[in-house]
Amino acid sequence: MNELLQKISVCFDDIKFIEDNDPQYISLKNLYFTIQNKDFYLSLIITNALVCYQLSSQWEEYWEEFHLYFAHKNIKNKTEIIPEIITFLKQSKGNKRILNMKIKRLEKVELFLEKFFWNEDFYYSNMLSLQKDLAKSMKQKINDKTIVFAIKMFWYWARNQFNNFHYFPFEICIPIDSRLTKLYQIYNTNSNMKIEEFYSLLSKKLWIPPLHLDAILWGMKI
């Protein structure tokens, strides 16, 4: 871990710069400025994030595909969100796998949106509540990758929409993927330390919340 710590030298301004240049963030930014009805923007993001797994393309390519599809959609009611996402998934090039399972999963998302739509600003200020309520609605563990990733994607634009900046809580874990697994295998010198413990400790040593650390590790050539 010490070797990895030496490779990471950033301040919070650096983190914001890295996050602002994440291709996924750029796709969301472009969508915000082209979508006709911005009332349902955050609902669209969090719904898509919850079915954003086992992709057939790179993550950034998929979110750009999402942006291009919804850029000129004029969603007028929250009841249109799930049907539009389903239509998008059925023609998506980047999200083809286990499609029936993902469409079935959207039934749970729809129940969550009933609460989320009226409380977006509350959830931005209280991301632990978002994590808890989202996991409960989806019948998942709070640290499951899709739950944590959905919070990250919601935050990406919520910080702009509500014109203030809230850091991620330290309690929300990093979403473990193949890249983070590889770094763990390279830099972990304690055979008894689980991957979640490794990144939690790294986060504390750097004093950087895990979800912000995620952006750094993706943005750096380590």
> How far does Cα 164 stand from its chain's mean position?
19
Count of C-beta atoms within a 10 Å radius of residue 130: 25
Copy the structure tokens of residue 212. 């912000």
Distance between CA 76 and CA 79 in Å, rounded?
Answer: 9
Q: Which of 177, 194, 204, 221 is labelled catalytic?
A: 177
CB-side exposure of 90: number of CA atoms within 13 Å? 8
- Which residue reads 């969603």 in tokens? 75
Measured in whole angstroms, how far is the alpha carbon of residue 96 from the centre of its chain?
19
Catalytic-residue membership of 16: no
| Active-site hit among 145, 152, 194, 214 | 145
> What is the spatial distance between Cα 211 and Cα 167, in angstroms, rounded to a whole number?
9
Q: What angle do CA 125, 119, 43 make, to 5 degrees?
A: 105
- Yes or no: say if 27 and 66 are a contact pair by the CB < 8 Å rule: yes
Catalytic residue flag (residue 145) = yes
Provide the annotated active-site residues.
145, 177
